Amino acid sequence: MSNPKDLLYSESHEWVKMLDDTTALVGLTDYAQSELGGLVFVNLPEVGDEITAGETFADVESVKAVSDVYSPVTGVVAEINEELLDAPEKINEAPYDAWFVKVSDISAKEELLDADAYDEFIKGLE
Amino acid sequence: MGSYVPNTDKEQQEMLKEAGYKSFEDMFSCIPDEDKLGRELDLPSGLSEMEASRKVEELSDKNVVYKHIFRGAGAYNHYIPAIVKSVTSKEEFVTSYTPYQAEISQGVLQSIFEYQTMMCELTGMDVANASHYDGGTAAAESIPMCKDRKHSVAYVSEATNPAVIQVMRTYCFGSNTKLVTVPVKDGLTDADQLKKMLEADPEAACFYLQQPNFFGNYEDAEKIGQIVHDAGAKFVMGVNPIALAIMKTPAECGADVAVGDGQPLGMPISYGGPYLGFMAVPKAMMRKLPGRIVGETTDDDGNRAFVLTLQAREQHIRREKASSNICSNQALCALTASVYMAAMGADGMANAATQSTSKAHYLKDQLENAGLKAAYKAEFFDEFVTVCPCSADAILSALAKHGILGGLPIADDQILWCATEMNSKADIDDVAAIVASVTGKEA
Amino acid sequence: MNLIFEEGNEGRRLSLLPECDVPEVKVPDSLKRNSKFHLPQVSENEISRHYTKLAGRAHGVNNGFYPLGSCTMKYNPKVNEVAAALPGFTRVHPLQPENTVQGSMEVIHLVENTLCEVTGMKAFTLQPAAGAHGEFTGLLLIKAYHVDRGDTKRTKIIVPDSAHGTNPASAAMCGYEVVSIPSQDDGCVDLAALKAAVGDDTAGLMLTNPNTVGLFDKNIREITKIVHDAGGLCYYDGANLNAVMGQARPGDMGFDAVHINLHKTFSTPHGGGGPGAGPVGCKDFLVQFLPGYHVEGDSKSGFEYVIEPKSIGAVKVFHGNFLVIVRALTYMLMLGKEGIPQASANAVLNANYMRVKLSDVYDMAYDTTCMHEFVMSLEGLKNKTGISAMDVAKGLLDYGIHPPTMYFPMIVEEALMVEPTETEPKEVLDEAIDVFHKIYQQAQSDAETLHHAPHDTVIGRPDELKAAREPVVRYVWED
């Protein structure tokens, strides 16, 4: 799967889709889901929670492990994708459609990579 | 010296040599001299099996075993079918480890799956865990299940077994949780007070109700559950598993968590342990359950297979983020409970429950005739409290002389009695006669 | 094979209880159970056969070699079972008056004394029901100590990254923040990292020695001193006591509180996952915080219950897993002062014997004398042949050997931790060594078959992903 060009990426393998200057969707990249293996559960924050760039805001469970998901932005959780709670496999099947949270009131961002830079970054890891 | 080391001294020396050591001392040079004990242990010498077994038997003979037991308060004397001990003595069950390797542990895993099913049936719930240590620790660990960032205060009825409340307090000391008790009125939880307290506290996370309560009385669990939910808190019920055969289930009462002690399901009273904590919840609370859970799946060939599942909740994966540290639980006791429930069946358990409450009511009537007074008017299951015109001690000493363990003295003049299917009419009549001789009342 | 619910038929039952000889009383209508209650409807014959079949699909120490690292699967003596079945123990109510339970109190007293001598502690509580329960209790003692001193700044517990998962989980249950410190290449505590981590916010350290890779940490006294100097206390996870009992004592190493796993070190059976017992011992200054009823006295003048003045309360209802404690006492009486160090010496011998004889083909994580267990890394084998620790473990199942502990400790890649214990005869060890060699050969010549092991067990590898995604955790009746 190639990484969509209209998204931004973090080095901890999250993607960000800016909907406008202060709102975004966040999810896990294809590289992340393939490294994690079959996911069985997602622990999401609550609507209204404040999240901070670089800190964990959710976690995903596979059969034998739990992995933290880091927020690329600082803001407030406006919506959570409840579909993922019942069908976490969607993250494996279509990672770029499986948004975790919609974040509003974004006041800060991590240093994010564009699609090409992220592709390079992954090549470096392999 | 008693030893279970099969290898002879000669074999040990051979092995030392093959492993490249001159002696045990040489091998133990990996421990610095200053850390070595360097002396014999200050303990008695080891014994042969015959001597050890005699010594332990002597110790057991120092206990008084009562022929007739009328005391409950968290440890109940019920009939244990012979098949229970027979099954739970099987070496494969006794000596196996936790079933992490599913392929070689289908027997243990299936037995736990069957146990989980039976506990769900008993409580009306959707999911049960593979066990907790006892009813008290299960009650204590229900609290973190109900807490979240906005709800952090736990409530418990004062009609709960004080020993259970104490365990909850200790766990709350650990987790820095505020635990508030709700007063009792006429032997029952004061529902009006409960309503006031919960309504005044937006941070109330949960309320724990024992059913039947410590005094043996039936609480109006449905009404209390409603009060708790209206206040935005979760409803936890601690229940007697024998009573559940004929009593409204926690699920019917709207409970969010059902816990209790499964000791009455085939475990001897054995001076307090090992017993069995059970925890069961509706589907929505499944991921909050501590402890092991067995799930059904298939293998590559489509065969039914059982496996420990939802392990990502547990300590070996979540470590400090786990909601509980529980690892070893009470697996063999859970097996005991399953065999008991299979042997008794639903009708058998209903029979044991009905007989228990019938015997207890007959006991109460006879004790009243003998000069004691029931402390409460409330309806009760198989335990009740009497007020005595004389001291509780006087009554209990008189009974003890006849090899009878009377009820638990809960005040100078109050006794908490218990009767089960194990107490015959004749035994109960004897108790009443002895009590009458103490109170001076003509029976 | 059927579930027990799939056996039997409507109306089948056992003849267990007599008729009720008093007037029948029912539950009041408003409290009556309204939901259907399903349990099996089977005869005793069917129950007996069902569980015999299930037992045939279980594998205990009684069936064969069980070298599970960190679990100490030693032989479970049968005399322990005889002791635990004595009616003088099983038919006693926990709330009987003190003078009628002097035997049980003496059992507790004797076990406490033995554990004190073996560990170098002043007193023990036998209330905790398992090791993790003991850890929780021990940490509560530490918390009570600091709270009592009015020192509320101490919010952190230090745990090495090699620790068993229960350690940080227990610390979290006590409201502590867990500070994980990295281990050195040799698996031991990194003193510099420890020094950097301690401060006036350190409540304590949790450690086991030998450590979770089976090595005795020679710096142990310095480690406990560093923590004490910073004002913290030291907690000993007794899971590995089988390596050092009678040889060295945690109390002498500087630990302030310990827990012991009776179902590991003291031969009580694992029961498929319990019941065990996790007694907690402590030094003098912590005794005042112990939970439950402490038994004091002696067999001449009698025993009585004492509640410690600043007790943390209770971690369980009643006195602990008493029948488990009886089994441990029987074992302690048999082994005595000579048998206890003999057990640990042979536990260490058997582990080193296996380690040395497997080193020709397997990579040992640490190339030095181990204690009662050793860790192999299958990383090299995986890179060369694609065969992982999981595959080797599953391969062992086809030979009837329970696999060693897999993927623990987390600091070793593709780890297999082997703990033979002292109760295995030499031939069993030799046979296991032979099997490990065969599997190594198979990894070179027929990795594909090994990759799909086991082949000779009642089921193949279960679909754990499906089990977690679509949890089916109970049988459901059709009506």
Does C262 reside within a domain? yes
What's the pLDDT score for residue B142?
97
CATH assignment at residue A43: 2.40.50.100
- Measured between alpha carbons, how far is B79 from B265 in angstroms, rounded to an integer? 9
Distance CA C163, CA C174 (A): 17
Q: For position A86, what pLDDT does the model report?
A: 86
- Tell whether C454 is covered by a domain: no
Q: A-C interface: how many C-beta pairs under 8 angstroms?
A: 15
For residue C470 the two structure tokens come to 């679509």
Q: What's the pLDDT tens digit per position in C160-204?
A: 988 888 898 999 999 999 999 998 888 899 999 999 999 999 999
Instruction: Find chains touching chain C: ≥3 CB pairs under 8 Å.
Output: A, B
Say if A95 falls within a structural domain: yes
With cut-offs at 50, 70 and 90, classify the pLDDT of residue B399: very high
Query: Distance (Å, rounded) from C-alpha C129 to C-alpha C271?
Result: 13
User: What are the pLDDT digits (tens) for B174-215?
Assistant: 999 999 999 999 999 999 999 999 999 999 999 999 999 999
In a domain, A82, yes or no: yes
**What would the two tokens of residue C461 be?**
């590898």
User: Which residue from A minimizes the CA distance to B150?
Assistant: A46
pLDDT of B310: 84
Chain B: give the shortest CA distance to residue A91, in Å.
18
Question: Within a domain: residue C115?
Answer: yes
Q: Which helix (H) or strand (E) holds C334?
A: helix C322-358
Report the residue from B287, B311, B321 with minimal CB separation from A64: B311
Q: Label residue A76 exposed, middle or buried (CB < 10 Å: 0-12, 13-18, 19+).
A: middle
**Where are the domain boundaries for CATH 3.90.1150.10 in chain B?**
68-76+345-439
- Taking the C-alpha atoms of residue C175 and residue C156, their distance in angstroms, rounded to an integer, is 9
Q: Which residue has the tokens 């309560």?
A: B213
Yes or no, beta carbons of B287 and A66 under 8 Å apart:
no
pLDDT in tens, C360-398: 999 999 989 999 999 999 999 999 999 999 999 999 989
| B58 pLDDT above the threshold of 70 | yes
Averaged pLDDT, B57-77: 98
Q: Of A11, B198, B221, whose CA–CA distance to C30 is shortest?
A: B221
pLDDT of A14 over the 80 cut: yes
Chains that touch A (3 or more CB pairs under 8 A): B, C
Minimum Cα–Cα distance from B305: chain C residue: C462
Q: Is-contact C315 C101, C-beta < 8 A?
A: no
Q: What letter represents residue B422's amino acid?
A: M
Strand runs (DSSP E) across C268-345, as ranges? Answer: 280-282, 294-298, 302-306
Residue A3 lies in a domain: no
Read off the pLDDT band of C447 (50, 70, 90).
very high
User: Which CATH number describes the domain made up of B68-76+345-439?
Assistant: 3.90.1150.10
CB neighbourhood size of B365 (10 A): 15
Q: Considering the domain boundaries, does residue C419 fall inside one?
A: no
Is the CB of B317 less than 8 angstroms away from the CB of A40?
no
Mean pLDDT of chain B: 96
Q: Does a structural domain hold residue C424?
A: no
Q: Which helix (H) or strand (E) holds B122?
A: helix B106-123
- For B317, which residue in chain A has the nearest alpha carbon? A65
Orientation of helix B106-123 relative to helix C44-56, angle to 10°? 140
Number of H helices, E strands in chain C: 15, 13
Comparing C-alpha atoms, which of C110, C425, C73 is closest to residue C273?
A: C73
What letter does residue C462 receive in the DSSP assignment?
A: B
Collapsing DSSP states into helix, strand and coil, what is residue C432? helix
Tell me if A60 sits within 8 A of A69, measured CB to CB: yes
Report percent pLDDT > 90 for chain C. 90
SS3 (DSSP) at B328:
coil
Residue B300 and residue C461: Cα distance in Å, rounded? Answer: 7
pLDDT of residue B443: 47
Give C184→chain B minimum CA distance, Å.
17
ipTM: 0.97
Q: What is the CATH number of the domain that holds C112?
A: 3.40.640.10
**In this structure, are residues B434 and B402 in contact, taking their beta carbons and an 8 Å threshold?**
yes
Q: Which range marks the domain in which residue C220 is found? A: 79-335
> Is residue A117, in this structure, part of any structural domain at all?
no
Name every chain B residue with its beta carbon within 8 A of the beta carbon of C74: 4
Residue B346: list chain C partners with CB under 8 A: 37-39, 41
Tokens representing B393 are: 């001690």
Q: Which residue has the tokens 């536990």?
A: C347
Q: Across the interface, which of B105, B309, B329 has its CB nearest the CB of C58?
A: B105
% of chain C surpassing 70 pLDDT: 100
What residues in C contact A88, CB-CB < 8 Å? 469
Q: What is the mean pLDDT of residues B99-115?
A: 94
Backbone dihedral region of C120: left (phi > 0), alpha (psi from -120 to 50 degrees) or beta? left
Q: Which of C340, C404, C397 is nearest to C373 (CA)?
A: C404
Q: At what angle do helices C389-397 and C426-445 cross, to 10 degrees?
A: 120
Q: Which of B182, B174, B237, B187 lies closest to B204 in space, CA to CA?
A: B182
Instruction: Report the alpha-carbon distance of residue C175 to residue B320 in Å, rounded.
Output: 10
The C-alpha atoms of residue C294 and residue C317 are separated, in whole angstroms, by 14
- At residue C163, the pLDDT reads 87
Read off the pLDDT of residues B226-271 as tens digits, 9 standing for 90 and up: 999 999 999 999 999 999 999 999 999 999 999 999 999 999 999 9
Please name the helix (run of DSSP H) or strand (run of DSSP E) that holds residue B4, with its range, or none.
none
Contacts of A61 in chain C (CB under 8 A): 468
Residues of B with Cβ-Cβ distance to C313 under 8 angstroms: 166-167, 169-170, 173
Chain B residues whose CB is inside 8 A of the A46 CB are: 149
Instruction: Tell me the shortest Cα–Cα distance from A34 to chain C, in angstroms.
Output: 15
Q: Do A65 and B317 touch (CB under 8 A)?
A: yes
Please name the amino acid found at residue C50.
Answer: H
- Token pair listed for C110: 């004797």
Give the model's confidence band at C411: pLDDT under 50 very low, under 70 low, under 90 confident, else very high.
confident
- Note down the domain range covering A77: 8-106
SS3 sequence of B405-435: ECCEEEECCEEEEECCCCCCHHHHHHHHHHH
Contact C468 A61 (CB under 8 A): yes
CATH of domain B82-339: 3.40.640.10
Q: What is the mean pLDDT of chain C?
A: 95
- A125 interfaces chain C, CB cutoff of 8 Å: no
Residues in A closer than 8 angstroms to C468, CB to CB, are 40-41, 61, 63
Which residue ranges does chain B devote to CATH 3.40.640.10? 82-339
Write the DSSP symbol of residue A116.
H
The number of distinct structural domains making up chain A is 1
How far is CA C208 from its chain centroid?
Answer: 13
> First vs last Cα of chain A: how many Å apart?
16
Q: What gap in Å lies between CA B381 and CA B364, rounded to an integer?
A: 11
- State mean pLDDT over A93-112: 93
Q: Find the closest chain C residue to B304 by CA distance.
A: C459
Give pLDDT, residue B442: 58
Residue C41 near residue C13 (C-beta atoms within 8 A): yes
- Give the chain A residue whose CA is nearest to the CA of B309: A63
Can you give the pLDDT at residue B409? 98
pLDDT band at A125 (very low <50, low <70, confident <90, very high): confident
What distance in Å separates residue C41's CA from the closest CA in chain A? 36
- Structural domains in chain C (count): 1
